[in-house]
Structure 1
Amino acid sequence: MPDTQLRPLRAFAESLRLDQVNLTERWMRAVFHDTELSDADRLTYEQLSDHIPAILEEICGALEEQDLDQVEPAIERNARKHGKLRWRQGYRIDELVRELDLFRQMLAGQIVQFSESRPFFTRRHEERARHFIDEAVSFVTLTSIREVLTERDRKIDEYTGRLERANHELTLKQRLVGDLYESRMQITRSVVHDLRNFLNVFSMALQLMSRAPAKVEAALALANRQAADMKALVDELVEYSVVLGDNHQAAVECFDLRGLFDELVASCSPAVEAKGLRLTAAFDDTLSTIVSNRLKLKQVALNLLTNAAKYTKVGQVELAMTAAGEDQWRLRVSDTGVGIGASDRERVFKEFERATGDDIPGAGLGLAIVRELTRVLGGQIRFDSNEGEGTSFEITFPVRLEAREGGEGGPA
């Protein structure tokens, strides 16, 4: 296109540039006083003007070149920023459209004002200028609306994700409440069942003493045995309640693992040998001091050893502590007892579950206590068992337990 035909539009673009500050202020006053733009009242001068001057500059470029395609990428960038800001500032889409329409009306008024004072700016030039301004503002409006919708959809997706996570957490908590209720019912059923058995035997002992005075000694022995079993049941329940109720950070200390090993052997040997069993013990001399909670480790080992002796009638119980690499060590307790059947393996660590009949005293909490303490101590537990041949438990612990908030440990 000849340069003589471009000059009027270039002159108009230059006048817009020179009057940019005044145009921006006039537009902002129109926005502030427009009754349909209630949200604009909350914006500051800077928030309202934001990208309008930049968009005006790109429109001037389009007028000069009479080619919107060249400036379209820049207009799109500024329009997207404009839409995103208006979304964050709480604009509705109709308010965004109204705001930009006021901008278009102001520029249309500038066309009329410019043509009246410059005879060379003919009606044809007015139409061309109005065409480029309408196209540019329409493109800005469409792009800004798309950006608002994109931001809205992103926010909806974010809220939906939060809602889904909240629903998932609620489902888990509801399940936990249900499990807790079932666990309490299980406690009630188990304790009532065991106490009924104890009381029945006590009643039998009392009847035996009243009917056969000569058998008082046997009746007393029976009553004492039941009292001891009842005490073991209560002690196990108390121990488990203490373990579950301990929400404090696990206290760690540096101690000699060999000393704990010798203490376990000395304390368990009498009970094991009293049943006619043999206690075999092995300690890896490469192990020395570790950092962990000594009392909880002792509880784990004692529960495993007590269980091993309880479910073993002939043979032996084994205690071993060995190294498992530079950063871990392993506790092993095995026996030659009744073993655990395949059908019982999934529930062996659950509360009040016992793999054998009711002839073995206890509440079935020993391995549940071991599982919880192992988690707190950052250990990993595995077991191998064959019914009628025996069971072996192995727990791998860290040589150095890092103190964690809430006493959290690794998975059991």
Structure 2
Amino acid sequence: MSDTPVGGLNGLVAALRAQQTALTERWMKLVFGDNEVEHSDQLTYRQLADHLPSIFEEICVVLESRNLRDQEGSIEHNACQHGQWRWQQGYHIDELVRELDLFRQVLLGAIGEYASVGAHLSREDEEHARLMTDEVVSFVTLASIREAVSERDRKIDEYTGMLERANYELTLRQKLIGDLYETRMQITRRVAHDLRNFLNVFSTALQLATRSAAKRETALGLAQRQVADMATLVDEMVEYSKVLGDDSILTVDPFDVVELFDELMQACRVATEAKGLKLVGQLDTTLGAVTSNRLKVKQVALNLLSNAIKYTTSGEIVLSINAAPDDRWRLRVTDTGVGIGADDQERVFEEFERAAGDDIPGAGLGLAIVKELCRTLEGELKFQSSKGQGSVFEVSFPLVLEPKASAKNE
């Protein structure tokens, strides 16, 4: 290193700054040739140098001012960035320490070269320069290691969080698989139970028919009722499977509530009259048109009405449609049927759950279908009931349902 007319530490600093590029090249050659810094081979010259110019300049400032404390904040910032980058570039801690130690050796060598030819650098200034350089590089090394370790810990926390989320999702999937398996077993048990009952009644009907000709009409009527009940069971299961398997885009269109009301009343009149029930309709004619999926809304209403008719032996069924607060409209079905006891109300919307005995046909899926459809249509479903006092089922729908993908696709 050539001498400089500036004396003391200022001359040394000026010489170091003048030789910055050469010193950086010297350091990079050492790093690239060092077997202990394996990951340096994967970096470009620019990536390897990254924060070195800033750290180099900080050392020069410290040597000029003879004060490390004033520069600690700036040095620590650059050192932390250096440590973060090296960790992201795949460095191990020992590689980071080694390359900074090589940087220390290059600087101390440059100081020694200047001292050997620079008559204006006293022994005391040389020792001070060495100590300050050593102290700054040690500070940089410590800060870089601390940041690299912090970066590693953040990654560990991130991976741990990902692992915990994956484990949670796996647990949920396992539970879902278990629930699906239990549902399948429920279906099997329920269908087997109902089919056994149907077959028993068929067997009784056949025995009646073979015993005497006079009882053949009775046997035939009994068999026909069983066929109708079996058809009801199959229809409910098919309908529920379609509702659960519907992954199509939910379409919405405006439709006239008055026309829907008339259709529902007409559809239920025969069934109510056949049981000697009174069908009452209450309609808010000012409601006008609403925007939703008309077919699914009708499906909700028919399931509630057929459920009410099924569980009512005397009295009346009331269908009411009217406006509701908060830009919604309300569909309500009231019956004077058997009602639902307090112990059964929590499970009434679950699959294959029925509050009545086995003498009433059905798979216990009607209200489960209603619940699933209401979720799709953003309907708020609630009910009131008591044993022997009938039930009131009410659903409020938005006046305008925004079209969107089926929730199964979200």
Q: TM-score, normalised by structure 1?
A: 0.96
The DSSP-based 3-state class of the residue aligned with 1:401 is coil
Q: Give 1:213-252 correspondences, 5 Å limit.
A: 213-252=213-252
Instruction: Indicate the residue corresponding to 2:362 in structure 1.
Output: 362
- Aligned residue runs from structure 1 range 299-310, under 5 A: 299-310=299-310
Corresponding residue for residue 398 of structure 1: 398
After superposition, residues 381-392 of structure 1 pair within 5 angstroms as 381-392=381-392
More displaced, 6-15 or 70-79?
Answer: 6-15
1:338–1:387 contact (8 Å) kept in structure 2: yes
CA contact (8 A) 1:377 1:409 kept: no
Distance in structure 2 (CA, Å) of the matches to 1:163 and 1:261: 53
Report Cα offsets for 1:182-224 as digits up to 9, x if no partner.
1111101111111111111111111111112112111111111
Maintained 8 Å contact 1:376/1:409: no
Q: Tell me the CA shift for residue 37 of structure 1.
A: 1.2
Q: How does 1:4-403 map to 2 (within 5 A)?
A: 8-403=8-403
Letter in 2 for 1:322: N
Would you say the 8 A contact 1:375–1:409 is kept in 2? no
- C-alpha contact (below 8 Å) 2:7/2:120 kept by paired residues: no
Matched-pair contact (CA < 8 Å) for 2:111–2:129: yes
Q: What is the Cα-based RMSD across aligned positions, in Å? A: 1.5
For residue 3 of structure 1, what is the aligned residue in structure 2? none
C-alpha contact (below 8 Å) 1:254/1:291 kept by paired residues: yes
- Any unmatched runs of 5+ in structure 2? 1-5
Which has the higher mean CA deviation after the structures are superposed, 270-279 or 319-328?
319-328
Aligned equivalents of 2:23 and 2:331: distance in 1? 82
The CA distance in 1 between the partners of 2:405 and 2:250, in whole Å, is 8
Displacement after TM superposition at 1:263 (Å): 0.4
Please give the secondary structure, in 1, of the residue aligned with 2:346.
helix
Q: Secondary structure at the match of 1:233?
A: helix
Distance 1:408 1:292 in 2: 18
CA distance in 1, matches of 2:320, 2:198: 36
For residue 393 of structure 1, give the secondary structure of its aligned residue in structure 2.
strand
For residues 96-150 of structure 1, what are the alpha-carbon distances to aligned partners after superposition, in whole Å with 9 as ceiling and x for unaligned?
A: 0001000000000011101011122122211100110011000000000010111
Distance 1:162 1:7 in 2: 59
Q: SS at the partner of 1:363?
A: coil
The Cα shift of 1:387 comes to 1.0
Rounded Cα–Cα distance in structure 2 between residues aligned with 1:387 and 1:409: 40
CA-to-aligned-CA distance 1:323-378 (integer Å, 9 cap, x gap): 12352111111111111111111111111110011111100000111111111111
CA distance in 2, matches of 1:80, 1:160: 24
- Contact 1:249–1:408 (CA under 8 A) maintained in structure 2: no
Distance in 2, matches of 1:350 and 1:114, equals 87
**1:44, CA displacement in angstroms?**
1.1
Question: What is the one-letter code of the residue matched to 2:303?
Answer: N
- Distance, in Å, in 2 between the alignment partners of 1:74 and 1:383 is 68
Cα distance in 1 for partners of 2:409, 2:90 equals 46
Q: Deviations over 1:47-99 (max 9, x none)?
A: 11111111111111110111000111110010011011101110000000001
- 8 Å CA contact 1:55, 1:79 repeated in 2: yes
**Retained in 2: the 8 A contact 1:377–1:401?**
yes
| Cα distance in 2, alignment partners of residues 287 and 40 from structure 1 | 75
The answer to whether the 8 Å contact 2:251/2:404 transfers is no
**Separation in structure 2 between the aligned mates of residue 348 and residue 283 of structure 1, nearest angstrom:** 28
Letter in 2 for 1:319: L
Query: Secondary structure, in 3 states, of the residue corresponding to 1:405?
Result: coil
Taking the aligned partners of 1:163 and 1:328, their CA distance within structure 2 comes to 43
Partner SS state of residue 54, structure 1: helix
1:285-344 deviation line (CA, Å, top 9, x unaligned)? 232222211111111110000000111111111111121235211111111111111111
| AA matched with 1:52 | L
How far residue 406 of structure 1 moved from its aligned partner, in angstroms, is 3.0
What letter is aligned with 1:348?
V
- Given that 1:83 and 1:143 are in contact with CA atoms closer than 8 Å, whether structure 2 keeps it comes out as yes
Residue 272 of structure 1 aligns with an amino acid whose one-letter code is T
Shift of 1:158: 0.7
Q: Give the Cα–Cα distance (whole angstroms) in 1 for the partners of residues 360 and 210 of structure 2.
A: 28
Deviation at 1:18, TM superposition (A): 1.5
Report the 3-state secondary structure (helix = DSSP H, G, I; strand = E; otherwise coil) of the residue aligned with 1:342.
Answer: coil
Which residue of 1 is the match for residue 3 of structure 2?
none
